Each structure stands twice: as C-alpha cells, then as structure tokens.
Amino acid sequence: MSKNVGSIRRSQIISTFGPGAIVDFRLPGSGALLSGVMQGLEAWEAYTKGGYKQDVVREPRLEALLGVDHFRAPPVGTYLKGGQKRDRVLPIERFPDWLSCPECHVINRSGQWAPSRNRDSLHCGQCRGKPAVLPVRFIAICEKGHLDDFPWTSWLTHEPGCSRPVLALKSVGAGIGGLLLTCKSCGAGRSMAEAFSPKGIPKHKCGGGRPWLGGRQSGCEAAPRITQRGASNVYFSIEQSAITLPDWKVSFREKIADFVDMLDFLDDEDMRIAFIAKKILPTWDGPDTAEEIARRFREMKEGNSGSEGDLRLDEFRMLLTDTSEFDESAMILLNRQQPVPHTLSGMISWISSVERLREVRALTGFTRLKAQVAGKPDAVPLSRSGLSWLPALALHGEGVFLSLDLDAVSEWESRSDVVEHLAHLIQTYVDSARAEGKQVDGAPQQLNARYILIHTLAHALIARLSLDSGYSSSALRERLYVGPEMAGLLIYTSTPDADGTMGGLSRQARPARMEQLVLQALADHELCSADPLCSEGMARSGSNGNHAACHNCMFLPETSCEAWNGFLDRSLLSAGPLSFFKSLGE
C-alpha cells in the first residue's frame, strides 16, 4: 500500500512507535482499521530522499557515546521531486497479515479478502454490506525481538478429510477461555487459552520474523509467546539522551590561564594537586577542591572517553555552575543557583533552577516482553546493518537540580547497618533472578545505596511536584547523576517545541518552595497504604532491586523513570532508622 494512512507525532516515533513497533490507523477514506509495523531505518532513507539534511540533529557528546555521525528527526512536510511536491513520510507494512470479519468471524490472510474500489481497505465479500475486515487480536513475539503472525493454520488440528478449511475465531464465553478457534468445514475447535503458556506456544518454535527489516532470522531458540497486538510488552523503546552543555573546557581554561604552563610542566599528580592548593585554590571561584581541579585539567588535556559516565559527569559539573551571567551559555543551558535552605544544609549542598535546557533524545533499539534494565535483555536493532545515524529529537524545557552533600552521603552509605541492608537486597535480587531461570553473576551497578537513595528521592520529589508545579507526573522525567563523584538529580520536563515550557517547574527551586517541597515529599513517603507489607519488602519482586516500594507509594509512570520503577527503597530515604534524612524527622 503506497497511500498515506495517517499521522503520528514526531515524539512518538522516538518513544512508542519507532521501527519494529505496531501502530493502528483509521484509513482516511473508509475509516477502516489498518494495523502495521513501522519499518526500519533503511526504509527511512528510501522514503526521505530529497532533503533529509533539514532533519539533522546534532549533539557531539551523544554522537561520540553512540558511535554515529549525526542524528535525524523523523521527517515531516514535503519535498520537491520532478517539479512536484511529495510528502515526506515513513513507511509501514501491514501486520498482522491475518484479518477477521466482524460479522461471520472468519479469519484469513490479507490476500484472501476483497479490496474496496479505491483499494485502500479490505472487505468480506460473503457478508451482507461487505463489512471491512479487522486485524486479528493475537500475535507471536519472543524475547529476542522477533514478531510473527500467530500460527493459526497449525494451531488447530482438523478432522481427517478436511481439504478446504475455513477458520473462524469467535467468543463463546467469558475471558480468553471462551475464545474459540474453529473450522467451519470440519467442525474442529480449540480454545485460545491453551496458547497462553509461560513456556511459549505449545509445540511451536519461533519463526524469527522481522517484518520491520524484511525477511526472517533463522535459528532462534527462544520460546514464542502469544500476546495481544496492542499489549504494552510488544515494544519497549531503548533511548539515550544528553543535555546540551556549553563547552566547560573553554571557561575552565580561562580560569586557569595564568597557570597552564606550570600545570603542564608538573607530571606528578600529587605535586600538581599541591600546586593547585597553594596557588590556585585561594582565589578560586567555586566549590571545587584541588583534586577536582587537577582531574578536570587532566580531562581537558586527554579528552572525553565517550562513556556514559563521562557524559553524565560533564552534565553534573555544569549543573553545579551558575550560568546566568554568561549570555552565550544561557542560550543553551540557563542554570541559576539558589540558596540551600538552612533546614536542608549538611544533607543537600547545591540547588539550582534550570530555567532553560536542551535535550537530545535518541532511539537506539528496542526490546519485547521485558524492558531493558542494566543492559539486559539485549537491544533489537533498528536496521539490518550499522548505519552512521540514529533517529532523535531535540527537546527544550526546564527543571530543578539538586546535589546531596558528598561527604554526608559517603559517611551514610558506609554505615554497617546500611551495608548489611544492601547485602540483603543483593542476595534477594540474585536468588529471585535465578528462580526465574536467569543466569546472573552478580548484582547490577544500580543496586547500591547511593543510587537507590538518589532514585527514591527523585520519585518522591516528582510525586510532590506533580501537585505543585502544574505538570502531571507523566510529563516530568528524572535524570540521575550517581557515581564516586556524583550524588545529584535533575527533574525536568521538555517538549519538541523550540520555545520550551512556561517556567512553572524551575520556580520550585526557590528557597521557600524547595524547603517545603523536600520536607513534604519525605513526609509523604514515610508511610504507605500497603504497610507493613511494603515497608518489610513483601509487596515487591526481588528481581527488580526494590525493597520498600510499590504501586501505592513509589512507582511512577514508565515515561518518568530511568530504571522502569526498579531500585527503589523508602527505608533508605525517610521511612526508618536507615534513612539518610532521618534527622529531619527528629
């Protein structure tokens, strides 16, 4: 089918309806339902000839991390070809190929139905009124990312002598158990409930279908699972993003300009740190230590390694900088430092209102059945071969940034009771994963006290901000900065609109608002309606790294969370003797 069948927002391509995803459209002429799978990146190139350069999105740090030359936004508008205007579109392929008549309930492949006069939809020629046929509800997927039609023809065992089977899918009772696949020719029937097995579709192997790339991948040993066409586990996008920063190296070099030659001359790191402490630190404008200045000088000389840790560390350092006095920087990142309320001092060391930011969000792959957490399961590719680009969008918005006191966090996470608690969480995670049949060598990197504390605090603040800032919780996102030198979080909102947002979120960083915000967020999560089950870790699955966290207290919409609501624990935040903010409740 070469006609335009509908439209979706650009931002949905990067999150919900990227290559490999199933999307439903109502055809403009007949209103018939068309279900199709979005095609891979090679098909993008074929359909965007005539000017993809207007869609190029640049973000050097993210390009280095992902190993691409540039990013491209999903195409919109028109282009000229042969003197004619043509729509710049993305292609889809009909999927599933099996369709059902809503009147007689017969199911068959798309080639067996009668096309409409303008050939934009398919109809049942046997029923009165020739109703438009609908895509069947069920499809087959596997954990390797393959996508196939359900094996309708082999699922049903026909009576001997049935030479012309006519399949029908009809509901004869409640639930899946009442959904019956029958043959109108021989009378054979089988309940669809039998196909819903945790071990896959009985006696069927994965077909290795990759309709978004074309063809099949042979040799897949994963068990095919039946699911509904519109189920959420059919497609989990994998995204990588970066906050666009001013070049910190420029301003940093200006600040040490009088000492560059001497710092270059000193090869010994200890001597360099001693020199910085004596000559540079006394007049240094900022909270950096001599060790941090030495490290930044070394990184300025060596360059960035292109890892995600470096990418986040650069952002963390820039968010610890007030950029409001630099006009050039303010066009990219307007970050205004705010005083830390006295009540929070000693626990929070920095607060800033991020009044303007630019985020580039790239789609790198997807998974099926389960979302990717800590790099597992492996990403399903968007193209048949590695290309020099990935789809991405540039978004603009605002946020609130805060950093915990690193010394206080280090002291807290080294406490014996916190260490013992984390050891228990790690053992529970490993035992749960092995019970589910997974091969695990140890705990993921997120399963540590610092990450869980920052992550849980971010969820608590988002839940509170959704009541005070004018944004819903699904419109807010977290960005966590956790590492040996980081203990911060950015809560932000962003849109593809170049004008960004209205400022209702960044204003929450002002001292009076922030103090009340943090105190209320902590108080809100001291108790849960599912306690004591939740507080004792009995309301969660150990395989997601959670302890005192459940849908009644800590969980957020999946669009808001970096870790799909994993690695959360109220007992480390404000609910109990292990909590970092325990002194605020005394």
Interval 201-256: pLDDT, tens: 988 999 999 999 998 998 899 999 999 999 999 999 999 999 998 766 666 776 78
pLDDT category, 151, cuts 50, 70, 90?
Answer: very high
Sign of torsion, CA 100 101 106 112?
Answer: negative
Residue of 218, 200, 197, 201 lying closest to 209 (CA atoms): 218
pLDDT band at 135 (very low <50, low <70, confident <90, very high): very high
Bridge partners, residue 365, by sequence: 238
Is the predicted pLDDT of residue 127 greater than 80, yes or no?
Answer: yes
Tell me what pLDDT residue 397 has.
92
Query: Is the pLDDT confidence value at 306 over 70?
Result: no
DSSP, res 277: I
> Which spans in 174-326 are helix H?
248-255, 260-265, 269-275, 290-302, 308-319
Helix and strand numbers, DSSP H then E, in the chain: 14, 24
The three-point CA angle 253-255-260 to 5° equals 55
The b/e string for 126-153 (b: 16+ C-beta within 10 A; e otherwise) is eeeeeebbbbbbbbbbbbbbbbbbbbbe
| pLDDT on residue 585 | 60
Q: Residue 41 in contact with residue 13, Cβ under 8 Å?
A: no
Residue (of 565, 529, 530) closest to 545 by Cα position: 565
Q: What pLDDT score does 497 carry?
A: 66
pLDDT tens digits for range 315-352: 999 999 888 876 655 568 899 999 999 999 999 999 99
Distance CA 560, CA 428 (A): 26
| 393 Cβ contact partners less than 8 Å away, ≥ 6 residues apart | 10, 11, 14, 57, 73, 74, 360, 361, 496
Specify the range with the lowest mean pLDDT, choosing from 6-10, 17-21, 85-89, 112-116.
85-89
CA distances from 228 to 2, 22, 140, 142, 235 (A): 27, 11, 9, 13, 12
Chain segment 72-82, per-residue pLDDT in tens = 998 876 666 66
DSSP line for 49-96: -S-GGGGEE--HHHHHHHT-SEEEPPP-SEEEETTEEEE----EEE-S
Q: Which pLDDT score, from 0 to 100, does residue 119 have?
A: 74
- Reported pTM: 0.84
For residues 477 and 385, what is the distance between their CA atoms, to the nearest angstrom? 32
Which stretches of 167-274 are assigned E, i.e. beta strand? 167-171, 179-183, 189-191, 225-228, 236-243
CA angle 9, 11, 13 (to 5 degrees): 80
The structure tokens listed for 41 are 């990146």
